[in-house]
């Protein structure tokens, strides 16, 4: 499979992306205003920018030089190019860390969890989202270059071993987002893997629609139905909130 140039990947925009960012922000909002928060990986800077607008002191890190350059050009958020398994920050530098759809891309996610713990203060929070359940693996995971999907126990155990207490580890996205993934995103990703967006009118149209605020907001309203099924331990994604234990 092929991938698109950095910044054009479909997982970086659209209603599913916005829906997930809103879930992370709802947890970030529980931190005190003015808290120092690290966003890794910062990507296009959407999450970091919204946290900054809410009064948080945000720093970004990303392995991609293009990400750091984009965020520096489009915002006042400090951002560094770096590896989340060996971060260039002092111990206890942050009150919170957000990491959305990042751990599944790393060869060494265990070291990343330990590093997140190292850069957090005691009692600091890590808010993370990852794709869930190996049984839901599809061609979309290949297209996104995922290394793994997580069980709830696997994700929680990794962070517990890194010195965290798990406050929340919840599945999300069943049944509406899962249907969206299966019926819409999967066929589109198979098509994207074969063709460049610039070569395909249908893909260009989907990209435009994915950036329409009206359509994105309408889809997010439909995705909200999934909250009624939150008690079911199943879904395409996991949202975890973990707090660093004291010494």
Q: Is the pLDDT of residue 61 over 70?
A: yes
Task: Tell me whether residue 56 is in a domain.
Answer: yes
Can you tell me the distance from the alpha carbon of 112 to that of 86, in angstroms, rounded to the nearest whole number?
A: 8
Say whether pLDDT at 10 is over 90: no
The residues near 65 (Cβ < 8 Å, ≥ 6 apart) are: 81
Residue 63 falls inside a structural domain:
yes
User: Does 111 fall in a domain?
Assistant: yes
Element (H, E) at 84: none
Instruction: For 173-219, write each residue's pLDDT tens digit.
Output: 999 999 999 999 999 899 888 877 777 777 777 777 767 888 888 99
Q: Higher confidence at residue 165 or residue 14? A: 165
Q: Quick one: average pLDDT of 230-244?
A: 97
pLDDT number for residue 208: 74
Cα separation of 168 and 156, whole Å?
Answer: 9
Domain that holds residue 123: 10-244
Position 3 in a domain: no
Q: Is residue 1 part of a domain?
A: no
Alpha carbon distances (Å) from 46 to 148, 206, 228? 24, 20, 27
- With respect to residue 149, please indicate whether it lies within any of the assigned structural domains: yes
**Which residue did the predictor score with more confidence, 97 or 2?**
97
The answer to whether position 2 is within a domain reads: no
| The model scores a pTM over 0.75 | yes
Greater pLDDT, 4 or 224: 224
Alpha-carbon span 210 to 103, nearest angstrom: 24
| Cβ pair 145, 158 in contact under 8 A | no
- Whether 134 is covered by a domain: the verdict is yes
Residue 2 has pLDDT above 50, yes or no: no
107-165 residue pLDDT tens: 999 999 999 999 999 999 999 999 999 999 999 999 999 999 999 999 999 999 999 99
Q: Tokens for 240?
A: 């975890």
Judged against a pLDDT cut of 80, whether residue 81 lies above it is answered with: yes
pLDDT band at 11 (very low <50, low <70, confident <90, very high): low
Return the beta strands (E) in 132-234 as ranges.
164-172
Give the model's pLDDT for residue 33.
Answer: 94
pLDDT at 247: 66
The count of structural domains within the chain is: 1
- Write down the pLDDT at residue 202: 75
Chain-wide mean pLDDT for the chain?
92
Question: Would you tell me how many other CB atoms lie within 10 Å of the CB of residue 22?
Answer: 14
Supply the CATH number for residue 195's domain: 3.40.50.150
Q: The tokens of 69 are what?
A: 């350059």
């Amino acid at each position: 499979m092929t991938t698109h140039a950095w910044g054009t990947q479909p997982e970086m925009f659209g209603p599913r992306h916005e829906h997930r960012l809103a879930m992370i922000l709802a947890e970030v909002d529980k931190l005190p205003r003015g808290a120092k928060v690290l966003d890794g990986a910062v990507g296009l800077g959407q999450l970091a920018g919204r946290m900054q607008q809410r009064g948080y002191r945000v720093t970004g890190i990303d392995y991609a030089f293009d990400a750091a350059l984009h965020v520096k050009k489009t915002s006042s958020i400090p951002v560094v190019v770096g590896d989340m398994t060996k971060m260039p920050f002092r111990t206890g530098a942050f009150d919170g860390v957000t990491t959305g759809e990042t751990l599944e891309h790393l060869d060494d996610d265990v070291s990343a969890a330990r590093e997140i713990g190292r850069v957090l203060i005691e009692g600091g929070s890590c808010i993370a989202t990852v794709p869930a359940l190996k049984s839901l693996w599809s061609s979309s995971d290949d297209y996104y270059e995922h290394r793994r999907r997580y069980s709830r126990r696997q994700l929680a155990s990794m962070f517990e071993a890194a010195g965290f207490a798990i406050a929340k580890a919840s599945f999300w996205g069943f049944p509406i987002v899962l249907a969206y993934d299966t019926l819409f995103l999967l066929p589109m990703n198979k098509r994207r893997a074969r063709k460049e967006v610039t070569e395909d009118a249908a893909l260009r149209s989907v990209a435009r629609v994915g950036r329409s605020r009206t359509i994105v907001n309408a889809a997010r309203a439909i995705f909200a139905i999934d909250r009624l099924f939150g008690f079911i331990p199943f879904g395409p994604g996991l949202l975890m909130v973990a707090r660093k234990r004291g010494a």
